[in-house]
Structure 1
Amino acid sequence: MAQIAYHGGMHNHTDLQASSLLHAVSLDGFAFVSAENMGTLLASSGELEDWAGFVDSWNHLEPDRYLAAKGRFRRRRHATFSATAQSPVVPEPHQAHFQALQYNALQGDIERWFEPISAAVVAGSTLRAILTFCNEFFSSLASPAPRWHIEVHQFRIEATAGVAGEPTPEGSHRDGVDYVLVLLVNRHNIASGTTTIHAPDGRLLGEFTLARPLDAALIHDPRVFHGVTPVMPLVADEPAFRDVLVVTFRAVPSEAATGST
C-alpha cells in the first residue's frame, strides 16, 4: 500500500485547487479528486500523522447484520458529528443511522445501529483533518452555511472468486443528505469498483475508479445519483477488499437537535 506522508501547511496552489473543485461541484453536482490533490487539500486542514493506524482500523470492522439479512455481506462502523462553519467538528453520542425508503429501497425506513467507530480513530488527526476539510468545503457551497449533522461510515467490501463484492448493493442512489465525500482508504487484490455518477433520468455523467489511497469523490447529493460497480478478486485464493470512508453532511435548523439521518 502507498505510504501517506502529507503534513499541514497551506501551499500556494491549494486555494486554486479548492476553488476549482467548488466550481465543479456547483456546476455539475460532483467532482472527482486525485490522491495527490486530495492529499494537498487535507494537509491544509490538518495532519495525517496517524494514517497507518487509521488504515489498520478497517481490519477491525464488524459485519453489517442488516445487509446480511438481505443475503449480502459487508463490514462497517459508524459515528456521528456536528459542526457549523464557525465551529469545529465535534463528536455526538452514538446513534442510529436512518434513511427513508425513497433513498434506500433495500434498507430504508429502519433504524440501523452499527458498531461505533473506535475512539482512537474519532480522536485521531487523520479523521479530524478530513472532517475539517469537509466542513470548510461544504460550508462554502451552502448559502447561508447551516448547522451540519455529519455521519461517518467505514466500509469494507470483500470479494471472493465465487461472489462479487457490492459496494452499493442498493444500486445507483442518493443518500438523502446535502453533500457526500467518498474517500478511498485502501484496496487489495480487486478489479473494478468504479464510482459512477448519474443524472436523475439515468444518464451517465461521469465515472472514476478510486484506485489509490486518498482518491475521492465529492457529491452534491440532491442533484445527482451515485453508485459503484461490483468488485472481483484479481487472484482467486487471496483476500480481496475495498476500504472506503464515506462522510455525509446534512443541513439541520440551528435550533434543532442532531437527530439521526
Structure 2
Amino acid sequence: MGVQRVLRVRMGLASGGPGPSDLRSARAGEANKAAGIICAAGQTPCWCVLWPTREGTIVRLRCTVGDSHSPELQLASPRDRRLAEQGVVAMDELTSPAFQSSPLRPVDMTPGQRLRAEGVIAISASAFPVSTPLPRVEWDSLAVDRYLPCGTYRFRRFGRVKALPGPSGWSLVPLPYRSFQQPAEVIPLYNGAAREFAPIRESLLRTAGMVRLIKTDLDIVVEATGRQQGYMLGLHMIRIVAGVQNGNAPAPEGRHRDGHQYVAMHLINRIGCSGGVSRVYHGKCEQPALVTTLSHPLDTLVVNDQLMEHEVTSVLSLPGASQSVRDLLIVDFDAIALTPASGTETQ
C-alpha cells in the first residue's frame, strides 16, 4: 500500500538569501491568508509537507522550491530524522518522479489537526473562531510583576480554571487562588520559587468572551491530542510596557519551554510599539519552525510545550507614541486524569 501524502502551504524560515519570485511569494501569501496563518514580513515562504508514514505517524518536511521549480526536501526535526533512520518513512519515495512532478497545493486542516501535525499553530484574528471581545480595560489594572529581574515594565494577574468535558460540552470551574510555580529545570531564572501574583477576578473568568475563548482553546487542544480529557488551566493576564531605546523583553528567560503540555497565547491589545516577534522551534533545532508577530487583537499562537521551545523579541516604543503596550492572555494546559466510567476527576 502506497504512502499517502498531505500537503500544506505555510510560512517558512527567515530569509537568508535571495527570495523566491514575486509569483511564488504571492501564491504562498494568498494560501497563508486563506489558511489563517500569520506570516511576518521579510520571510521566504516554503511548503511544509506533512507525510503520514506506514505506521500512521506524521513527519514534517520543509519543502522549498528553487528557480528550477524542483522541490528541495529536508526533514524538519531530530524526531523526524529518527523516524527516517528507523525506516518508518521511505526516503526513496520522496525523490520519486511522481512526487517531484506532483503539484504543491494547500489543503484544509483544522487548527487541532495542524497543531497535532506541526506542534505549533498561528491563527490570525480573522480566522480565530471567537467574536465576543474580552474587556481590554481589565489590562489597565494589572499589578506590577515584582519578580522580573530586569525592571518593572511587566504587569500581570494569574488565575486557575478546572475544565471538565461533559455530555453538553465543557464545564469551567474557577478555582481558589494559589501561587504560580515552574520547575527550576524548565525556567532556571526563578529557581523554582513560588511567585505570588494578583488574582484574576472571578467575574472576569465568567464573562462570555473569556468562556468562549477558553472553550475554543480546549477544543483545539483536545483535537490535537485525540483524547477527551479534563484540564487544569492557568491563565495569565500580562502587559509589557515597551522600552524607549533597546526595548523591553517580554520573556527575559529567552528561548524556553513553560513546563506544561500546551500553551495558548492570545494578543489582547498592541499600541504604539514594534518588535515582539515570536519564534517557535522544534526542540533544540537551530532554525525556527515558525516566526510570527501577533499584531491584531486575538491573533493567537498555540504550542505543544512538550515538543517545542519558543522565544519573543524585545518590545520597543514607537517615536511619539503616547502609550506603548503589548497585552496578552496566556493559557497553559495540564491534563487531569478522569475515571473511565464517570468521566469525573480522579484524586
Under a length normalisation based on structure 1, what TM-score does the superposition of the two structures give? 0.82
Query: Corresponding residue for 1:94?
Result: 177
- CA distance 1:102–1:203, shift in 2 (3 Å): farther
Gaps of 5+ in 2: 1-34, 36-106, 339-344
Alignment partner of 1:81 is 2:164: no
Q: State the 4+ residue runs in structure 1 displaced beyond 4 angstroms.
A: none
Q: 1:18 to 1:176 in 2, by over 3 A?
A: farther
Q: Does 1:72 align with 2:162?
A: no
1:253 is the counterpart of 2:337? yes
Structure 1 residues 198-213: aligned runs within 5 Å: 198-201=281-284, 202-213=286-297
Answer whether contact 1:155 1:243 (CA < 8 A) is retained: yes
Larger Rg: 2
Distance in 1 separating the partners of 2:136 and 2:186: 29
Bigger shift: 168-177 or 142-151? 142-151
Partner residue, 1:21: 111
Q: 230-239 vs 212-221, which deviates more?
A: 230-239
Q: How does 1:1-261 map to 2 (within 5 A)?
A: 19-38=109-128, 41-43=129-131, 48=132, 51=133, 54-67=135-148, 70-73=149-152, 74-86=154-166, 87-162=170-245, 164-201=247-284, 202-235=286-319, 238-254=322-338, 255=345
What is the identity, as a one-letter code, of the residue corresponding to 1:215? D
- The residue type equivalent to 1:25 in the other structure is L
1:236 shift after superposition: 5.0
* 2:199 alignment partner, SS class: coil
Tell me, yes or no, if the aligned pair for 2:174 and 2:202 is still in contact at 8 Å: no
Following superposition, the deviation at residue 93 of structure 1 comes to: 0.7
Equivalent residue letter for 1:76: R
Check conservation: 1:82, 1:91, Cα contact below 8 A.
Answer: yes
Three-state SS of the structure 1 residue aligned to 2:219 is helix
| Cα 1:160/1:237, change in 2 over 3 Å | farther
How many angstroms does 1:213 deviate by?
Answer: 0.6
Cα root mean square deviation, aligned: 2.2
Calculate percent identity across the aligned residue pairs.
25
1:237, distance to aligned residue in structure 2 (A): 5.9
Higher mean Cα deviation, 217-226 or 104-113? 104-113
CA deviation after TM superposition for structure 1 residue 147, in Å: 2.3
Q: For 1:98, what is the secondary structure of its paired residue? A: coil
The whole-number CA distance in structure 2 between the counterparts of 1:22 and 1:143 is 9
What residue number does 2:11 align with?
Answer: none
How many angstroms does 1:218 deviate by? 1.1
Residue identity opposite 1:64 in structure 2:
D
Where 2:303 maps in the other structure, the secondary structure is: strand
Structure 2 distance, partners of 1:85, 1:203, is 37
State the distance in 2 between where 1:125 and 1:162 align: 39
Query: Deviation string for 1:234-254 (max 9, x for gaps)?
Result: 125632110010001111333
Aligned residues: 232
**C-alpha distance in structure 1 between counterparts of 2:108 and 2:200, whole Å:** 28
Question: Match of 1:124, as an amino acid?
Answer: T
C-alpha displacement of 1:19: 4.4
Distance 1:231 1:90, change over 3 A: same
